């Protein structure tokens, strides 16, 4: 994917040789306001892979922020490297300088490979950062409301499919027991669901075995997909739903925290053909961005949680629209997001 074949407003390549920083910041849209999106620190196989990821993720953030009702555009950043080996104060501060150079067109936050402590370091060089620690006036771990939002979206999907907004008595498969997956497990168990899970990390598997011994563990995502599930929740990296996995999927609902769950355009049609209800990822996983966006006006957890609770309503609206118009939920969600970006963005042409 080339930069000039997309609709992105701005793509910035950031290189600081001394610290080893190699980063790309992509601003997809500022129609609704400054672009907000996290920083992913990941050992990509190539520069092309890093560019592809940041372009896809930044577009997704624009749609996510629009449907979350935020007056914020969409952006994303990736740092190319191994966070366990390459992350340093010098590198993070160099990255913060590049964020600052954009003058507020882009606000950064946490993502895969970055944490609140990292954002505290980035904030030493830029004021355009969210997802900071509570000690520094931030919202803390955004996975708390990400998981809460996924659970609300899952409830809406359950009501649409089975007539009741609960997962009680349902078998839910979670792929990925990281920051979000752990919180989601608790929500589901408290609601009366049976949970089946998998993760590549032995530490994560040990955690769930000791904390929730009733959770059934299976060996890998491929095995999880084949399980007799009611709901499948991808909560790791993207691309879990593709031409090979969808035909094996037993669940009747897909609702999870991972970004870019559909490996390519057209997968949403494969899901529809198999009568699998897909709750669009960028809708149900928007609780995290709602949480960090609240920092911009002075963080209040109760207010942020109330806003994240509305994910239930917007998911329900999207599923109803999809049924009424005879299109997959992903298409209906895109239409609603594009409509808000166009209608609200147009107001900026009115001079005041």
The rounded distance, in Å, linking the Cα atoms of 276 and 265 is: 16
Task: Pick the catalytic residue from 64, 76, 87, 316.
Answer: 76
- Examine the residue annotation and report whether 76 is marked as an active-site residue of this protein: yes
Kindly list the catalytic residues: 76
């Amino acid at each position: 994917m080339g930069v000039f074949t997309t609709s992105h407003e701005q793509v910035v390549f950031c290189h600081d040789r001394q610290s080893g920083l190699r980063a790309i910041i992509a601003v997809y849209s500022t129609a609704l306001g400054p672009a907000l999106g996290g920083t992913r620190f990941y050992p990509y196989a190539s520069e092309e892979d890093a560019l592809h990821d940041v372009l896809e993720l930044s577009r997704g953030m624009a749609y996510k922020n629009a449907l979350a009702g935020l007056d914020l555009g969409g952006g994303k950043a990736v740092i190319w490297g191994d966070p366990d080996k390459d992350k340093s104060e010098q590198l993070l501060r160099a990255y913060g300088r590049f964020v600052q150079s954009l003058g507020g067109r882009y606000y950064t936050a946490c993502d895969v490979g970055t944490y609140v402590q990292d954002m505290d370091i980035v904030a030493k060089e830029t004021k355009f950062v969210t997802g900071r620690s509570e000690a520094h006036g931030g919202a803390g771990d955004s996975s708390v409301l990400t998981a809460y939002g996924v659970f609300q979206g899952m409830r809406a999907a359950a009501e649409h499919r089975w007539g009741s907004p609960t997962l009680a008595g349902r078998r839910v498969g979670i792929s990925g027991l990281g920051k979000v997956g752990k919180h989601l497990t608790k929500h589901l168990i408290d609601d009366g669901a049976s949970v089946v899970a998998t993760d590549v990390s032995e530490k994560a598997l040990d955690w769930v075995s000791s904390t929730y011994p009733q959770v059934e563990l299976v060996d890998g995502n491929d095995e999880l997909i084949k399980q007799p599930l009611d709901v499948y929740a991808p909560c790791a990296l993207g691309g879990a739903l593709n031409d090979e996995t969808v035909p094996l999927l037993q669940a009747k609902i897909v609702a999870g925290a991972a970004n870019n769950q559909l490996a390519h355009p057209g997968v949403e049609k494969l899901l529809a053909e198999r009568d699998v209800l897909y709750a669009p990822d960028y809708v149900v996983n928007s609780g995290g961005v709602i949480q960090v966006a609240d920092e911009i006006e002075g963080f209040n957890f109760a207010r942020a949680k109330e806003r994240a609770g509305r994910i239930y309503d917007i998911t329900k609206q999207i599923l109803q629209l999809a049924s009424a118009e005879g299109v997959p939920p992903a298409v209906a969600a895109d239409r609603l997001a594009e409509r808000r970006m166009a209608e609200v963005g147009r107001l900026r042409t009115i001079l005041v």
